[in-house]
Chains A and B, each alone.
Chain A
């Protein structure tokens, strides 16, 4: 099917038009990234005047210097790593054994436990009861609270459980005859056999943690504990309202636009570094487990 020489003239025309359209869509997807990068390296007044289109005007790293000299930027950056790595590890520690147990035929009340997990996908109590519960548990304003409260979700558990259920039972039986107990069956057989699914879930967890902001914003009052996304939002909110910041900086090296853009670039860089690795896995039917049982 990929031999272009076999295509008729009409087909070739169709393929070309298609390619142009895809190229346009791709460029418009990419453009905002180019745009904020260009803005972040531009002179403040050029950016404030809306002159930046493709490349930095009046190249400067002034915005970065200002951002990087802010202690809160660094502490929030470190916090994001803490939430991302800590949160992902805690998630896996809960999800992997849980999904395994839910996939076992001998589990008494298996239907009930599975339904209990799945039900939370259909109905949830909403923001307020969740928030009040966090407060009652004394988990406000703590690293542990934010990490544990989002450690688990029905989707990830069901995804992994479905994967475990698809593993031929002879693998488990062979291990069992060799004397493996449940923990050994899980750790030495199921986990290695489910590498794609586990990597997928790890990536889901990491991406969610890296990008999560709403509950961090609601639950964390101590500025020293906020992650990067909350910090970015604060900066946007503060500077946007700060008339003087925009006005008084004619000919300044940085402006509202360049400062926020440079924080955004700093926040995207780790995602970009990690992205090729992510992509390798999500192509292999990442959505499968969620869509069909």
Chain B
């Protein structure tokens, strides 16, 4: 009891002296509550028969009904499959590119060339998704697109890429690589910059070639960074760029391109089936959470520093 009182008076004194930091903290905390935690409360509609008029709290509970519906729906299962397929493919093709680029940039001796090339390959990162989509739509258009123009020059039939399911994933992943590979190489370049020059100097004295140094010195030195980035990437596996998919896909490419978030967008935001879409979202968020937590645990064990 007395302890409690002591603590209260200490807290009072503390607040009198340090009120300023709490004033500073307040907007951030309020923002997080209003815009991120309140929706978590709203997530309960995944278990409810939500109606706009009754609101979140007053809509009746329906248990796991929406999840039963989802797992009985081919569309949803297809979206889950597509999500995993697209993210796995992005990982396989997208992850090594920045590393290769960084290693290659490191071998360039002409500084002007290097700076210019870097400036250019970083640029797409800063371009909006809508423009990326606009470029893709223009370039892959059946009649006007440059890609088909080239195909015809080479004597092939022109292809209407954007309505062909088998072309959706290559185009999506390719444009992702085009946009992000350069910028993602910065992390690895920073890691390479941290390698002690004396390692290379002693290797030169030992007569190593550039190629050998790349394999025997640079790559092992940045391996920890590579592994950390890989773990982060796996943790975020479900974060496929659905904004670009929304801009690129069409009903004819849903079979390969429709992912969980695009399905949520169509059913929830366009179709107003909020509760069902929220259930799909909850499934997505839960799997993502498990992945992130696993990644963080692995990373803690591997590098003794947690990612966050």
Contacts and interface: CB of A to CB of B under 8 A. Distances in A.
Interface of A: 1-2, 4, 6-8, 10-11, 14-15, 18-19, 21-23, 25-26, 28-30, 32-33, 35-36, 39, 47-53, 93-95, 97-102, 104, 106-108, 113, 116-118, 120-133, 136-137, 148-149, 151-152, 157-158, 181-183, 186, 207, 210-214, 218, 229-230, 232-233, 236, 240, 255-257, 260-261, 263-264, 267-268, 271, 275, 278-279, 282-283, 285-288, 291-293
10 nearest CB pairs, A to B: A126-B281, A98-B28, A211-B128, A97-B24, A182-B20, A101-B25, A129-B39, A125-B39, A129-B42, A101-B24
Contact of A125 (B43, B178, B204): B43
Given A128-B274, A136-B56, A152-B31, 12 more contacts: A10-B209, A93-B27, A125-B43, A127-B264, A129-B40, A130-B35, A213-B130, A257-B144, A263-B134, A279-B122, A291-B307, A293-B306
A49 B143 contact: yes
Mostly, the A contact residues are helix
Interface stretch (B70-78, B83-91, B104-112): B104-112
Contacts of B268: 127-128, 131
Contacts of B288: 122-123
A125 B130 contact: no
Given A1-B200, A15-B107, A101-B24, A292 B305 contact: yes
A100 to B, nearest CB: 6
B28 A117 contact: yes
Contact of B246 (A93, A123, A214, A260): A214
B49 to A, nearest CB: 14
Contacts of A129: 39-40, 42-43, 45, 278, 281
Given A15-B109, A233-B130, A240-B137, A279 B119 contact: yes
Mostly, the B contact residues are helix
Interface string B281-294: 11011001100110
A245 to B, nearest CB: 12
A233 B281 contact: no
Contacts of A211: 126-130
Contacts of A14: 107, 209-211
B184 to A, nearest CB: 9
Given A125-B36, A132-B274, A118 B22 contact: no
B141 interface: yes
B8 interface: no
Interface residues of B, number: 100
A22 B128 contact: no
A29 B120 contact: yes
Given A123-B289, A127-B268, A158 B282 contact: no
Contact of A152 (B14, B23, B32, B130): B32
24 contacts: A7-B210, A11-B211, A15-B108, A18-B107, A22-B101, A29-B178, A30-B123, A33-B123, A36-B138, A49-B143, A97-B28, A98-B24, A101-B22, A113-B29, A120-B32, A123-B285, A124-B40, A131-B268, A136-B56, A157-B28, A182-B20, A211-B127, A286-B186, A291-B232
B109 to A, nearest CB: 5
A271 B127 contact: yes
B56 A186 contact: no
Contacts of A213: 128-130, 243
B1 interface: no
Contacts of B23: 97
Nearest to A267: B131
B21 interface: yes
A152 B109 contact: no
A282 B215 CA distance: 28
Nearest to B235: A122
B204 to A, nearest CB: 8
Contact of B110 (A19, A49, A151, A275): A19
B144 A49 contact: yes
Contacts of B120: 26, 29-30
Task: Find the residue from B138, B282, B284 having the highest chain A CB count within 10 A.
Answer: B138
A10 B247 CA distance: 47
